[in-house]
Each structure stands twice: as structure tokens, then as C-alpha cells.
A and B are shown apart, each in its own frame.
Chain A
Amino acid sequence: MDDLVGRYVGRTALVTGSTRGVGRLIAEHFLAQGASVIGFARSPGTITHPAYQHVEVDLADPMAIQKAFMGLHKSAGRVDIVVNNAAVLTSQYAMIMPPGAAQAMVNVNLLAPFIVSREAAKFMRKTKWGRIINIGSMAASLEPIGDSVYAACKAGLSTLTNVMAKEFGAMNVTCNTLAITAIETDMLSQLPRDKIDLIIAGLPIPRFAEPADILNAIDFFASEASSYITAQTLYLGGVN
């Protein structure tokens, strides 16, 4: 793998939800491989690196996202890779799901990737190169009880990705979904452990995802060699 260190030199990657969990993992990976990274998150940045720029933005607010991109037009000047990772999860039976929590999931998990992708595409159309990777979930396929809105958002995210792939294809911009399985993060702690363990036990590869599993797929989609791979949803762990 050593010969691939530095594979993102000259690239600028934008990662949403970069302060913790999978987003931080991906942001640090891009930095380690030579990319400049812009992190979007509601909370203050947690990464200290000379090539990291943190932007505090409420991803539930489309206007706030557009203002953040206004700033990027002045500062960064380019966005080559986008990873729409930020997500919120409230797992609850539909009949007692608070409407506000449902709305927040729609805003952050579905609308925000749309706004971020379309604004980033405006950069990518100038350079005629781009990679948009949306972080999906096994929930879209497994449809677990309690996750009606979350699973619907993630399923919708795949559809959104596929349509954007058609619109952006002529600009040499690929759009794909990486549907991850459970990984040990703060989000996971919001779910009943026995429920998660039961789901994991039923997977073809019955274990939690490791960081390397996710980063391998990220590198695959972001690779120069993947220019002919778009509108795909890749499920980890054998989910389909």
C-alpha cells in the first residue's frame, strides 16, 4: 500500500460530519494521503492539520450550506471529492417517532447531501473532474423496525445519487453510494446493543465494519481508475 500513499495530492476533498466517527476517519485518511480537506460540521473542528479547513455549518439548513459554499468560492477555490457522511439517527417505532426527529433526519440525511452535492458540482464542472460519494446504510436494504425514516432517507440517498450520476456524467463527475454496515461510533451507541448484535449476526460476514473496510471502498470510488463507475450502491458485509 505504500506506493499509494499520497494518491490524493493536489485534490481537495469535502467531508461532511468530519468531527467524529466515520466522517473523521475519512477526513484523516484523505489528509494522510495528501489531500486538502474541508470539513463541514455543526460543531467545532476536532482535526488539527495544516491541510484541514473546518467550516461550522448546520447541515439541516440549506441556506447555511449555500453560504458555506460562498466562502469556499473565495478560499478553497476547488472541490474535487465529496463525501456526504453526516447523518442523524433516531430509532423509534413509527407511532411514537417525534415529527421533529423525523424532519431532522430528512433534512440532514437526504436534503443536505443534495445541496452539498449540487454546490460542489458547480466547482467540479469547471475542472471536469469529480467524485461524489454518499454514505448510505445497510438499513436501506434490511429495513429494521424503528428505522422507517432513517432507512427511507438512506434508500432515497441511493436514488438521489443515481439521478445526479446521470446529470453530472458529462462533466466527468461520478456519483456513488457506499452503504456501510455498523461500525463502532457514537451513532451506534444510540441503538439498543442487542438489536445491533442480532442484525450483525445475520449478515453474510457477521462482524462489525472496520475502518479499513470503509476506507478501501472510499478509495475505490475516489480513484482515478474508477471514472467508469457511477450510479452504483456498494453494500459492505454482504448486504444486498
Chain B
Amino acid sequence: MDRREQVLGIIYAALESLNAELSEDRQVEIGPTTALFSPDAALDSLSLVSVIIDVETALTMEWDAPISLTDDRAMARAISPFDDVGTLTDYILELLAEVSPA
């Protein structure tokens, strides 16, 4: 499994974990284009926080290094890493390249 697939798997797992807590009518569709934080997003702010924490925790455990998705760098970007699953994956791959070059 390449690193992108690995990261996608972690994000999907976080979204599945979120869905387990949501009612049937609030289920989030899971895929590479799933909107996370945009006008089209199905997630409310608390749900997004929940996903971010799950993803951060999983990344930290997997790569054995503290990885923060919400530092100043993320917030300063013209295109938010949290727009959708794809932008989040790209951003995580950038961070991982710093702590553990592929």
C-alpha cells in the first residue's frame, strides 16, 4: 500500500467512526471528494473537529511523531487543507514528508 492509500484509509476510518455516531439521515458519504469544510460540507464544526482528532491520533501513532493538522501553516493557506478529503490527503502527505521522507 502506498502512502497516499494509507492516508486515505486513515481519513476514511475517521469518517466511518463519525458515521457510527451520526443518525441515519446525517450519514456522511465517504470518498476522495467528500467535502469537509466548505459550503457543501455535510459535516458540522464539531464533526470536523472529531474527524481531525481521529486522523491526528492515527497519524501520530502510525508515524510515531506528533503531527498537528491545525497549526498556523494550515490556517494560512489560500486553499484550506480541510476543503475535502483530497486536499486533506495532500496536506498530510506534505507533513509526513517532513517527519518521514518516503
Residue positions of A touching B, CB distance < 8 A:
63, 66-67, 70, 73-74, 122, 125, 170
Please pick, from B46, B57, B61, B66, the residue contacting A63 in the complex, using a CB distance under 8 A.
Answer: B66
A23 to B100, CA, bound (A): 38
Residue of B nearest to A170 (CB): B46
A122 to B46, CA, bound (A): 13
Residue of A nearest to B53 (CB): A122
A152 to B100, CA, bound (A): 41
Known contacts A63-B66, A170-B46; decide if A70 and B60 are in contact (CB<8 Å): yes
Q: Distance in Å from the Cβ of A137 to the closest Cβ of chain B?
A: 31
Contact B60 A73 (CB under 8 A): yes
Residue positions of B touching A, CB distance < 8 A:
46, 50, 53, 57, 60-61, 64, 66
A125 to B60, CA, bound (A): 18
Chain B contacts for A122, CB-based, 8 A = 53, 57
Please pick, from A66, A70, A74, A125, the residue contacting B53 in the complex, using a CB distance under 8 A.
Answer: A125
Chain B contacts for A66, CB-based, 8 A = 66
Residue of B nearest to A123 (CB): B57
16 A-B pairs (CB sep. < 8 Å)? A63-B66, A66-B66, A67-B66, A70-B60, A70-B61, A70-B64, A70-B66, A73-B57, A73-B60, A73-B61, A74-B61, A122-B53, A122-B57, A125-B50, A125-B53, A170-B46
10 A-B pairs with least C-beta separation: A66-B66, A122-B53, A70-B60, A73-B61, A67-B66, A70-B66, A122-B57, A73-B57, A63-B66, A125-B50
Chain B contacts for A73, CB-based, 8 A = 57, 60-61
Q: Distance in Å from the Cβ of B54 to the closest Cβ of chain A?
A: 9
